[in-house]
Amino acid sequence: MTVANYPPVGIKPLPKSMYSGVWFRPTTIEQLVELPHAYPSAKIVAGSSEVQVEVKFMHEKYGVSVYVGDIEGFKGFSIGEEKGEVVIGGNTSLKTPEKACLEGCKKLVFTNESRMAPKTVEAKNTMEALLGKKWFDNTVLEDAMAAMEKDSPLGFTVPGGMPTYRKTLAFSFLFRFWHEVAAELELGTQEQQVDHEIIEEIHRGISYGSRDNDNPYKQRVVGKQIPHLSGLKQATGEAEYIDDMPNIEGQLFGGLVLSKKAHAKLVKVNFAPALQVPGVAGFVDINDLDDKRNLWGSVKKDEPFFAKDILHSHGQLIGMVYAESAAIAQAVAQLVDVQYEELPPILTISEAIALTTEGFKDCDFVYEGVAMMGGQEHFYLKTNAAAMIPRPEDREMEDWSSTQNIMEMQEFISPVTGIPSYRIVAKVKRMGGGFGGKESRSVQLACILVVGTKKVGRPIRCMLNRDEDMMTSGQRNLFQAHWKVSVSRTQICQCRKVL
């Protein structure tokens, strides 16, 4: 069967204006079976949980997608009296399996394991452990749990991550369902009671709060209840953040080109595929800054704005494209052709540092150990955002950033642009949370945008999405200190070293 014969009768593609690529909506299982012959790489979409992860975070592109929500055979459930089984449709809501299993629990067969991995598979070991066994027997439950462990061998590379959480969630569903059935059928005995705390729904009332404004000790200023200056605006949604600011005439939007490798040589970067898309105005990369201006850092200026030659982390900035809309900029950033030569990744601090024993050879007593401190992600509510507006009249540059350090913005924007710091007008609308995470890390985005603004002569703004922010901000890094000290027999410190 050829592609030209498609779509089959009864299958109508959705309008292309609504989605990227082509979508089909079969209404029968027979039509669904025919489609893969014409489109072997078509993506089957039901609830789309995994698809959304793949499209948004893994940037997958699907030319043909098939929606199976209109196939009647995939909806609802049926109870087979002869075989003693409950068959649940492959595209049902979570309420349907619960209802089906409660109605057919005496003949229950687990037909699949859902929402754990990209593919639906039969839980054959779990089925064998339950079929024909007495319900509400703890031994049977333990055997079923052990069997489910074999049926769900999720590795840590599973798409979407969190394999331990997913497996625990599946086990908890079975555990709770086991007790719900026992309670529904009154299977509890004097020796083995049903634990109703396991199955009772937790109901929580509507949250509310109040404030007592009465303070008998208040003075004219001290002790007086004063509302936060922006409290009412933030509570009502009227507070304006950088991304809420009205667009300026001629404004462009930035999209970051980030490394997809943790450690690699940067062989080649080709922006041509992105520049061919309508609405794209240009790009900036390492070629727009000399080596000196490309380095920055609050304490030591050793961090590059744009990667050069070697990539040291996944998410390291390679360049930025700017376009007429944020959607175009983010989309075309994925079209930039980046070629890598992968190097062995350095995954721990121990791999990155070299220990030495020099100076300790002739010591009487040597003591050593390791002190560690975990890393932290500030996870502010609003991600980093910035807008750069050129003011050519007085050779000024207006910087709107979600930063905790206006002076540092001036300090780094000035050498990047060649504009004196007193002509850098740095402003903060409001941050949306910082906790120290925007003390210095907001500099990188602002300086990248200002390079583009100076190059094209137009305002450019950008607000990072959450994964971009976490990859590029660097967080508060973890620390590992190896200490070593030696003393003589007379209790005199002879040598010490900390790495």
- pLDDT of residue 115 exceeding 60: no
Residue 99 lies in a domain: yes
Two structure tokens written together for 431: 């941050």
Residues comprising the chain, all counted: 499
**Looking at the structure, do residues 198 and 263 belong to the same domain, yes or no?**
no
Identify the domain boundary among 304, 320, 342: 342
Two structure tokens written together for 56: 């948004």
Q: What is the DSSP letter of 248?
A: P
Q: CA 174 to CA 146: how far, in whole Å?
A: 12
Task: Tell me how many domains the chain contains.
Answer: 4
Identify the domain boundary among 342, 369, 397: 342
Identify the domain boundary among 342, 358, 385: 342
**27-47 average pLDDT score:** 86
We report the CATH number of the domain holding residue 194 as: 3.30.390.50
Of residues 419 and 198, which shows the higher confidence score? Answer: 419
Q: What is the pLDDT of residue 117?
A: 58
pTM recorded for the entire structure: 0.73
CB atoms under 10 Å from CB of 346, counted, come to 13
- pLDDT of residue 179 exceeding 80: yes
**Looking at the structure, do residues 87 and 49 belong to the same domain, yes or no?**
no
Q: What is the pLDDT of residue 139?
A: 86
We report the CATH number of the domain holding residue 35 as: 3.30.43.10
**Looking at the structure, do residues 199 and 276 belong to the same domain, yes or no?**
no
We report the CATH number of the domain holding residue 270 as: 3.90.1170.50
Residue 173 lies in a domain: yes
Of residues 79 and 367, which shows the higher confidence score? Answer: 367
Q: CA 195 to CA 188: how far, in whole Å?
A: 9
Residue 60 lies in a domain: yes
State pLDDT tens for residues 428-474: 988 899 989 999 999 999 999 999 999 999 999 999 999 899 999 88
**Looking at the structure, do residues 134 and 177 belong to the same domain, yes or no?**
yes
Residue 353 lies in a domain: no
pLDDT band for position 89 (50/70/90)?
confident
**327-336 average pLDDT score:** 94
**Looking at the structure, do residues 182 and 124 belong to the same domain, yes or no?**
yes
**Looking at the structure, do residues 191 and 258 belong to the same domain, yes or no?**
no
Strand partners, 396: 391
Residue 92 lies in a domain: yes
**Measuring CA to CA, which residue among 107, 117, 66, 113 is closest to residue 84?**
107
Residue 349 lies in a domain: no
**Looking at the structure, do residues 94 and 126 belong to the same domain, yes or no?**
no
**Looking at the structure, do residues 98 and 180 belong to the same domain, yes or no?**
no
Q: What is the DSSP letter of 242?
A: G
Two structure tokens written together for 51: 């698809």
Give DSSP secondary structure letters for 386-437. EEEEEEGGGTEEEEEE--S-HHHHHHHHHHHHT--GGGEEEE-S--S--TTT
Domain containing 296 equals 249-342
Residue 214 lies in a domain: no
**Measuring CA to CA, which residue among 246, 276, 242 is closest to residue 449?**
242
Strand partners, 489: none
